[in-house]
Amino acid sequence: MTRPTARRGAGRPRTPVLSRDRIVDAALELIDDGGTFSLGLLAERLAVKPSSFYNHISGKDDILAGVQERITDAIDAGMFERLPWADAVVEWARAYRAAFVAHPHAIALFATAPVMGAGRTLRMYEQVVTGFRAAGWPLEAIIPAIVAIESFVLGSALDAVAPATILEPGPDAEAVPLFAAAVSARDLRAAAENMTAADLAFATGLRAMIDGLAASASR
């Protein structure tokens, strides 16, 4: 039955209530709940005062960076060691998008200061590059392809959390008949395939991009 090693001359040990991890945890929860994110609200949740944060983090941006890390760290790239290239890329892109879409109110974070930072992340990239290399990709073509996929994934995640109305013809439908018909046909198809409109666009684009990349690699 040990107790925390007593520091020299200290009275009672006083376990701190805050830590960077605990702050980032609570921040992600607060963001996921929607509504506004402010240090005042965050402090309230942790039964603490806003000024207390500054013993553990350098400011609001530091907290947000921690949240971003937490989300991207959930992305796995192990599929490149198990699956053929095309299947692995599809799986990876899906997992990537899913990690963003699981935190819709946090996505704006990635938009302004895009993606990825930690050391875990570099290991993921190593796995992905290895998968491309094993499939015969020339070294200088790999990163552009990966960045292209990431750009598509981020754009699709933003689309997925966007209000569904942005692409609706609205009252001016008769002025743009073909567009209106195309949207209706899309809605019918999405319903029939039991997907959201955003899912359908993502599946379409991912399929196309992987096919296109595969074709360019074998050319």
Partner DNA sequence: ACCTGAACACCGTTCAAGT
* Residue 1 Cα to chain centre, angstroms: 43
Query: Which among 16-24, 30-38, 88-96, 207-215 is the span making contact with a copy of itself, rule CB under 8 A?
Result: 207-215
Distance CA 133, CA 125 (A): 12
Min. distance of Cβ 53 from a copy of itself in angstroms?
Answer: 22
Whether 83 contacts 95, CB under 8 Å: no
Q: Which does 1 bind (CB under 5 to 8 A by kind): a copy of itself, DNA, none?
A: none
Whether 57 contacts 23, CB under 8 Å: yes
In the region spanning residues 86 to 125, those forming contacts with a copy of itself, defined by CB under 8 A, are: 107-108, 111-117, 119, 122-123, 125
Distance CA 156, CA 150 (A): 10
Distance CA 202, CA 214 (A): 18
Distance CA 100, CA 75 (A): 9
User: What is the pattern of x (binds DNA, CB under 7 A) and - over residues 13-52?
Assistant: -x-xxx-----------------xxxxxx------xxxxx
Cα angle 72, 115, 74 (rounded to 5 degrees) comes to 5
Return the H-helix or E-strand segment holding 212.
helix 197-217
Minimum CB distance to a copy of itself smaller for 6 or for 102: 102
Min. distance of Cβ 14 from DNA in angstroms?
Answer: 7
In the region spanning residues 134 to 163, those forming contacts with a copy of itself, defined by CB under 8 A, are: 139-145, 147-156, 158-159, 162-163
In the region spanning residues 55 to 84, those forming contacts with DNA, defined by CB under 7 A, are: 55-56, 59-61
Structure tokens, 136: 């015969």
In the region spanning residues 92 to 131, those forming contacts with DNA, defined by CB under 7 A, are: none
Min. distance of Cβ 188 from DNA in angstroms?
Answer: 39
User: What is the pattern of x (binds DNA, CB under 7 A) and - over residues 152-171?
Assistant: --------------------
Whether 56 contacts 42, CB under 8 Å: no
Alpha helices per DSSP H over 59-138: 60-72, 85-101, 107-112, 119-134
In the region spanning residues 65 to 84, those forming contacts with a copy of itself, defined by CB under 8 A, are: none
How many residues interact with DNA (rule CB under 7 A)? 21
Distance CA 69, CA 37 (A): 17
Minimum CB distance to a copy of itself smaller for 46 or for 98: 98
Site residues for DNA per CB under 7 A = 14, 16-18, 36-41, 48-52, 54-56, 59-61
